[in-house]
Amino acid sequence: MSMLQPSTLQFFKNLKKNNNKTWFDAHRAAYEAAREDFASFIDTIIQQFSKKEPSIAHLRAKDCMFRINRDIRFSKDKSPYKTNFGAYINNEGRKSVTAGYYFHLEPGESFVGGGMWMPPSDVLAKVRQEIDYNFADFERIIKSRKFKEVYGGLYAEEGQVLNRVPKGYEADNPAAAYLKHKSFIALSNINDAELTDKSLVIKVIKAFEVLQPLNLFLNSALV
């Protein structure tokens, strides 16, 4: 199947109302079915998109999917489970710091996109330098017609943009607005009806294809 099953979305709707271990254990079979459905979808995406991005051809869904258990050690919210599935498709797997592709499944809050999210300081410094050196190329990517149609522009995530340009750059630098970013990502929302539509794979592949030039640019900074 080329789309997700309604039962997968329903599982998360139910989990959001019953986020506790007792309920989860009683509905583990539904969770396993939802996880298998999502893994099958991600495997299809990898298989199809690897024709354009050969570096991910060796991956399997299990290399990209995140655990459903939340890390609650330092959180005021003690809900034990995430109410979503997420998969980061990158040639080095989900733990890589390099730019990649992401799919997020959460009823009412699903999206497709990717890029480089919260890279370590040394990686961030290299990316900023690459943007500064080759700003015309960077701007050409994020201001292209296709990029704007799919993503609108580079996502300015709350808390991930500095108030001032980082040390070493002038305030009037042509790339100042982007040098302030601590993450370089793009997101495109997907509604629930699209999640269960047969065109979902095509939509995600097209979104990844539009994102590919940005990821290539970001990763070129690390070569």
Average pLDDT over every residue of 180-193: 97
Kindly report, residue by residue over 84-93, the tens digit of the pLDDT: 999 999 998 8
Specify the pTM: 0.94
Q: Can you give the pLDDT at residue 116?
A: 97
Q: Are 33 and 10 in contact (CB under 8 A)?
A: no
Kindly report, residue by residue over 203-213, the tens digit of the pLDDT: 999 999 999 99
Q: How far apart are CA 184 and CA 196, in angstroms?
A: 29
Is the pLDDT confidence value at 1 over 80?
no
CA distances (Å), origin 101, targets 46, 93, 105, 145, 215: 10, 10, 14, 20, 8
Q: Can you give the pLDDT at residue 73?
A: 83
89 membership: H or E segment, kind and range: strand 85-89
Q: How far apart are CA 63 and CA 88, in angstroms?
A: 9
Is the pLDDT confidence value at 118 over 80?
yes
Is the pLDDT confidence value at 2 over 90?
no
| SS3 per residue for 151-192 | HCCCECCCCCECCCCCCCCCCCCCCHHHHCECCEEEEEEECH
**Closest CA relative to residue 40, chosen from 70, 64, 20:** 64
Q: Can you give the pLDDT at residue 90?
A: 95
- What is the share, in percent, of the chain residues with pLDDT greater than 70? 99
Kindly report, residue by residue over 160-180, the tens digit of the pLDDT: 999 999 999 999 999 999 999
Kindly report, residue by residue over 130-166, the tens digit of the pLDDT: 999 999 999 999 999 999 999 999 999 888 999 999 9
